[in-house]
Amino acid sequence: MKHELTELEGCVLGMIGTTGPCTPYAIRRGFRESPSQYWSASAGAIYPLIVRLQRRRLIRLKRKTGDGREGKLYALTPAGESALRRWLGPPCPATAIGVPPDPLRNRVAFFAMLKSAERAAFLKDAIDGVARHLEEVQSYTQCQERQGQSDEYLVSLGAKLMLEARLAWLREMAHRLGVRTD
Amino acid sequence: MKHELTELEGCVLGMIGTTGPCTPYAIRRGFRESPSQYWSASAGAIYPLIVRLQRRRLIRLKRKTGDGREGKLYALTPAGESALRRWLGPPCPATAIGVPPDPLRNRVAFFAMLKSAERAAFLKDAIDGVARHLEEVQSYTQCQERQGQSDEYLVSLGAKLMLEARLAWLREMAHRLGVRTD
DNA sequence: ATGGCCATGTAAGATGTTACATGATTTA
DNA sequence: TAAATCATGTAACATCTTACATGGCCAT
């Protein structure tokens, strides 16, 4: 195989693989409704990507939805399924193992530019935002847990643990600066 | 201001701001030597970026290194410093608050594609890789700690906590699957 | 019959990647 | 003197973004 899959391509193959044949629009909806919001899942990203995967024979057009709206249902080919399995690993690529990028960490790296009061304001704002977001993710996670322990539950559990670790980190920094965290 | 700064642009401004006037090459070295490895910091990324920042009057050419190798030293303009401060926040943008993207989480989302033994192999591999990487980051963090509590220490502390949370998450999943984690 | 959702796509642009090209200086 | 490092840059390409364009179905 010449091409490795990008993260987005892997996720799209994964969605087709786990939910069965689906339209590009359904894939977009999947991204839009996911709590992650990392990808915009715009038409300009998805449709060309579908064309790419089709040209590489990893997916194929199975049939139209047939309801006059001409939805195109794509399914994995055998090659697509094995490409998906290779992407899923093992082995995990080094980029998957390494610390994920974090915009907050990027900003803390340049704390030296800020005065003590500005740092305190930054930490207060960040702690507030992360705590708020954590609450949402926690209730989402509990929701998933009640619906049985699906993969989605494991995913949001991972997200929850990330946010908790980030919050602990921010609070630790605030503590060192003597900032009240309420 | 018309343009927001990208993460990479923010980091470059931050590096120039904290270390003083420096060459694009020194900035590349900074990225190359950082343990994060998220950006390639290739010439093709940095030099055009420097041109962009210069055109927006956020940095300016201060002088040449004058050692025959014609290194160009760039410094922040006042506009550049205030752009950097705005980028640093507060307020933190929503993209900085949200859960950072994680390739491992992306893969776990499609666990349904794998058989139980394959999941176990995935988790073993991932736990092994993350644990190994964590050790490196831990020793790096201790190194930073001994050198006094710089911003770099706080950054690697954040990275360490992220990795610990990820590892705990992977182990939790392994536990549920009855995988031995040694 | 109007507005909202389903459904497909294209166009222009920003930002990043790898790989290449060039030349000076330091170090083994 | 040969190799590594310092130092600048370009070219071709991939991938993603926003914004636009088009049209059918369905509920109020």
Q: A158 and B176: CB-CB below 8 Å?
A: no
What is the amino acid identity at position A50? I
**B36-78 per-position pLDDT tens digit:** 889 998 999 999 999 999 999 999 998 887 787 888 999 999 9
Which residue on chain A is closest to B121 by alpha carbon? A90
Q: What is the pTM of this model?
A: 0.93
CA B98 – CA A121 distance, rounded (Å): 19
CB distance A33 to A42 below 8 Å: no
Cβ of B67 near strand D (under 7 Å)? The reply is yes
Task: Name the β-bridge partners of A60.
Answer: A75
Give the closest residue to A171 by CA, choosing from A120, A106, A95, A116: A120
Interface size A-B, in CB pairs within 8 Å, comes to 215
Give the closest residue to A105 by CA, choosing from B41, B25, B38: B38
CA A26 – CA A8 distance, rounded (Å): 15
Sign of CA dihedral B162, B163, B165, B170: positive
Q: Is A153 helix (H, G, I), strand (E, B) or coil?
A: helix
CA A75 – CA A77 distance, rounded (Å): 7
pLDDT for the residue numbered A169? 98
CB atoms within 10 A of CB A143: 12
Which residue on chain B is closest to A6 by alpha carbon? B103
Asked if residue B96 has pLDDT above 70, the reply is: yes
CB proximity A83 to B under 8 Å: no
Mean pLDDT over the full length of chain B: 93
Rounded to 5 degrees, what are φ and ψ at B47?
-65, -45
CA B169 – CA A22 distance, rounded (Å): 31
Nucleotide nearest to B45 (CA to C1'): C16
CB proximity B154 to A under 8 Å: yes
Token pair, residue B18, equals 């904290």
CB proximity A10 to B under 8 Å: yes
Q: Is B50 helix (H, G, I), strand (E, B) or coil?
A: helix
CB distance A164 to B169 below 8 Å: no
Task: Using pLDDT thresholds of 50, 70 and 90, give the confidence band for residue B182.
Answer: low
Cβ of B52 near strand C (under 7 Å)? The reply is yes
| A101 chain-B contacts, CB cut-off 8 A | 7, 36, 38, 100-101
Q: A124 and B157: CB-CB below 8 Å?
A: no
Asked if residue A6 has pLDDT above 80, the reply is: yes
Task: Using pLDDT thresholds of 50, 70 and 90, give the confidence band for residue A182.
Answer: low
Cβ of B149 near strand C (under 7 Å)? The reply is no
Rounded to 5 degrees, what are φ and ψ at B20?
85, 180
Give the closest residue to A96 by CA, choosing from B155, B168, B180, B38: B38
Give the closest residue to A74 by CA, choosing from A84, A59, A88, A87: A59
Task: Using pLDDT thresholds of 50, 70 and 90, give the confidence band for residue A24.
Answer: very high
Q: A155 and B109: CB-CB below 8 Å?
A: yes
Q: B101 and A176: CB-CB below 8 Å?
A: no
**A81-131 per-position pLDDT tens digit:** 999 999 998 999 999 999 999 999 999 999 999 999 999 999 999 999 999
CB distance A82 to B17 below 8 Å: no
CB proximity B68 to A under 8 Å: no
Nearest beta carbon to residue A151 from set B88, B102, B110? B110
